[in-house]
């Protein structure tokens, strides 16, 4: 060192404080708190659970609505046919009225008494119609065991078989369903061999 130079004291560098090291480091999670990644996973899991619950609620709601509709249909069906047994009890009365009218017309023609009976029969039919009861139209139609009860077979002069040619007792429908089948005679093709006529007309079916 030269005699003219003066030494300048250098102050010591300050030691880094604890606060400055924490400021430069990445923030650490406090004890008891989840990291952002864990929070995102938890949120996704909860979202999936909510979606599953929503789907289940929608399914239950649809099942409930279907159950309500089914119960309403069953109730309507029950009310529609609840009086079926009672109507069946009344049909023989109408049968007898119609037989009496037909017999009286053949024997004595029109009389005030017959007109009164006919009026009663018309009223009877009207009440039945309001209850959903309708007579079947069977003459000339193909025999159908779901609607007809065959009591006899007759030879057909035209060779047409399995047609209803005579109605012995009226059949009725209740709201489109068979209430009572019609008792009928059914045609059969006439045999070509005269010797086969032993069965003759009116054979039991």
Asked whether the predicted pLDDT for residue 196 surpasses 60, the reply is: no
Give the model's pLDDT for residue 36. Answer: 85
The answer to whether residue 177 is domain-embedded is yes
Chain CA centroid to CA 205, Å: 37
Give the model's pLDDT for residue 157. Answer: 76
Give the model's pLDDT for residue 112. Answer: 86
The answer to whether residue 176 is domain-embedded is yes
Total domain count, the chain: 1
The answer to whether residue 81 is domain-embedded is no
- CATH code for the domain of 153: 2.30.22.10
* Cα 47 to Cα 45: distance, rounded to the nearest angstrom: 5
Lowest mean pLDDT among 15-24, 39-48, 133-142: 15-24
Q: Which domain holds residue 159?
A: 134-205
- Condensed to tens digits (0 to 9), the pLDDT of residues 101-132 reads 998 888 877 788 889 999 999 999 999 999 99
The answer to whether residue 202 is domain-embedded is yes
Question: Which pLDDT band, with edges at 50, 70 and 90, does 39 fall under?
Answer: confident
Kindly state the average pLDDT of the residues 195-204: 51
Question: Which pLDDT band, with edges at 50, 70 and 90, does 11 fall under?
Answer: low
Asked whether the predicted pLDDT for residue 144 surpasses 80, the reply is: yes
- Condensed to tens digits (0 to 9), the pLDDT of residues 42-76 reads 888 999 999 999 999 999 999 999 999 999 888 88
Say which residue, 50 or 3, is predicted with more confidence. 50
The answer to whether residue 156 is domain-embedded is yes
């Amino acid at each position: 060192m030269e005699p003219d130079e003066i030494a300048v004291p250098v102050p010591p560098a300050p030691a880094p404080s604890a606060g400055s090291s924490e400021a430069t480091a990445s923030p650490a999670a406090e004890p008891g708190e989840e990291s952002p990644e864990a929070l995102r996973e938890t949120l996704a899991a909860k979202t999936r659970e909510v979606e599953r619950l929503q789907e289940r609620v929608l399914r239950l709601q649809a099942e409930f609505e279907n159950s309500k509709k089914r119960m309403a249909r069953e109730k309507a069906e029950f009310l529609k046919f609840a009086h079926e047994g009672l109507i069946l009890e009344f049909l023989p009365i109408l049968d007898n009225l119609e037989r009496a009218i037909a017999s009286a017309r053949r024997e004595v023609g029109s009389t005030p008494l017959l007109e009164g009976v006919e009026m009663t029969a018309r009223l009877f039919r009207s009440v039945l119609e309001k209850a959903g009861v309708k007579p079947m139209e069977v003459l000339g139609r193909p025999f159908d065991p779901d609607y007809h009860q065959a009591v006899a077979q007759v030879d057909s002069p035209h060779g047409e078989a399995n047609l209803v040619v005579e109605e012995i007792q009226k059949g009725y429908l209740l709201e489109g369903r068979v209430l009572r089948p019609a008792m009928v005679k059914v045609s059969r093709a006439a045999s070509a061999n005269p010797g086969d006529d032993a069965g003759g007309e009116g054979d039991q079916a």
